[in-house]
Chains A and B, each alone.
Chain A
Amino acid sequence: MKPNVYKALARGVVLESIRRKDLWVVAILGFLILMGASALGFFGVEGLQVFVKDLAVTVLGAFSTIVAVLTSTRMLPEEIKQRTLYPLLSRPISRLDLIIGKLAGSILVTWLAFVILCALTAVALFGFGVNFEPIMGQYILAKMLGLALVCAFGLMLSIYMTPAAAATTTLIFTFGSTMIIRGLTSGYDQVGPVMQFVFKFLNAILPQFSLFDLGGRAANVGWSPVPLWVMGFLVGYWLLYSAGLVAIAWAKFNRKAI
């Protein structure tokens, strides 16, 4: 563990993101959310809490996931392409440190973007007098963990693929995760024992991004907060699965001729 190294590398990623004006894009997207929200006045928002909250969590989820994917999949390939990786690796840090530091940086950038979007959305929702339930806090926490998992997944793929391919694959898995899992659960009873084993295997190894999305519960009315053991499970799953992804990334990156 080299906290100072990780901190310096993460700081570099955040500064690079600010320099590239990624966060400006987020701010503009947030502004668009506010503009879109103001159009809701047309419907008369009274009694339309569900729609407004549903729209908010959908937009938040989509935009922050895109930021996570774009940030995590282009960091290392760009370092290699621009040859800025050499001065980094000439310092007393291992390739594993580099991956962890970069991952920490991409998570920070994504969380920063998510917080900006949350703040802007909250302003819009407060403007319409939308009531928040305690589950909204859990939604934000779980979403942040989910985004961190997306970053780890994107970073791992970017070592094996080109940035464009990694970004596309990550987007497919993040947005299609629910659909894939739903296909497995629906089809399980209708296949033979061999395929059932394959289904179980796929379910075990595929990233379960949908578990981190409490949007459906947060947007609707009267749902209680989720039990503490569920939040604990999400933290544990995130840590273990991310560690696995980092290990896979390191296995390839360590052997990569640069």
Chain B
Amino acid sequence: MKSWHAGFLGLSLMAAMGWSTGNVSPETNPPMRRIQTSQGDASLAGQFQTSVSGWLWEYTEVYLNNGIKYRKMTEQEKQSAEKDGEPGQEVTSIPSASKDFRSVFGDVERAVNAWTPGQKVRQNDPRQSLPLFRLMTWLDPQFVEGWTTGAMVIGMDYKAESTQKAMQFLREGLKHNPECVDIPMMFGMIEVTREKRYGTAERFLKKAISNGRPRFHSLGDNERAALQNSYRWLALVYRNTGQTEKLMQIVKEGTDKFPDDMVLPRTGRPSVVPPEDYKAPVGVRTRSQNN
């Protein structure tokens, strides 16, 4: 055996080892659902993308408030505000004249920036912040709230074209987060409320429940709420399609998981159907007339 044979063999062995470890990656570094905090710079591993995405999430509020920036109050500020009879959680980043030691510098800063006293905030159209949702989901595709909130903003005018765009946005989100609860729930909700396609809605809502059920105890607040809503919407689908047995079954399963839910048990009760000779008062339309 020549010496270069040993070198070649060693190199091959190392390459084989390196090659085979590719399958281990999903185990050692699984795709994680990102949770945005109220601080844009919060990221355990200092992940740049998540930080920027979190900052963009925060920045949507600036767009909504027509450029006015707010910050969280300190404990001392909260106590002081309560004493003044104006309790709150947030305060403008640039302080008001009465709380600013800078005299004329403070006056000039308030004049050159987007600033008004808290009560006079003009709200912008949320659609102005749409590019931010697009950017944050590009940067961090695992940021599920970015996808769901973005879809709501896209489809907020209830036009058919906007609904389609919102669904397209959600489809992209679902591709990146096939195991999440929120996106299939949102799909189901849109299918029920806008498209009235109960079959498709049922499929999505079942998917949301099957994604959430196995890890019920480790779900975060948002996913937990999404799971609860999935039960509610699915119950509504069964009620509207007359599938009473399935309705009772899903209500039972939902109330087992969420015993405090006040909505779900009511969905299971039969609707009050007016007698055939019932005449609605003038100006009032019954549900059947609306449909």
Contact = CB atoms under 8 A, between A and B. Distances in A.
Contact of A230 (B108, B122, B132): B108
A64 B202 CA distance: 55
Contacts of A226: 111-112
Interface string B221-265: 000000000000000000000000000000000000000000000
Interface stretch (B9-17, B21-29, B99-107): B99-107
Interface stretch (B32-40, B123-131, B139-147, B277-285): B123-131
Interface string B181-208: 0000000000000000000000000000
Given A185-B101, A211-B109, A217 B67 contact: yes
Given A43-B131, A199-B101, A211 B108 contact: yes
Contacts of B63: 50-51, 54
Contacts of B130: 43, 48, 51
Given A48-B127, A185-B101, A189-B99, A222 B112 contact: no
B112 A214 contact: yes
Contacts of B106: 185
Interface string A32-44: 0000000010110
Contacts of A51: 63, 128-132
A211 B105 contact: yes
Interface secondary structure of A, over-half rule:
helix
A185 to B, nearest CB: 5
A217 B63 CA distance: 12
Contacts of B95: 185-186
Given A48-B131, A189-B99, A220 B111 contact: no
Q: For B71, B124, B128, which residue has the most chain A Cβ atoms within 10 angstroms?
A: B128
Given A185-B102, A199-B101, A219 B67 contact: yes
Interface in A121-168: 142
A3 interface: no
A212 B109 CA distance: 9
B290 interface: no
A227 to B, nearest CB: 6
A212 B112 CA distance: 8
B66 interface: yes
16 contacts: A40-B131, A43-B134, A50-B124, A54-B63, A181-B102, A181-B109, A188-B101, A211-B108, A216-B67, A221-B66, A221-B124, A223-B66, A227-B111, A233-B104, A233-B108, A234-B108
A-B complex: 6 closest residue pairs judged by Cβ atoms: A220-B67, A50-B128, A216-B114, A230-B111, A51-B131, A216-B67
Interface of B: 63, 66-67, 69, 71, 74, 76, 93-95, 99-102, 104-106, 108-109, 111-114, 122, 124-125, 127-132, 134
Given A43-B130, A47-B128, A220-B66, 10 more contacts: A50-B63, A50-B128, A51-B130, A51-B132, A182-B93, A200-B101, A211-B108, A214-B112, A216-B114, A222-B122
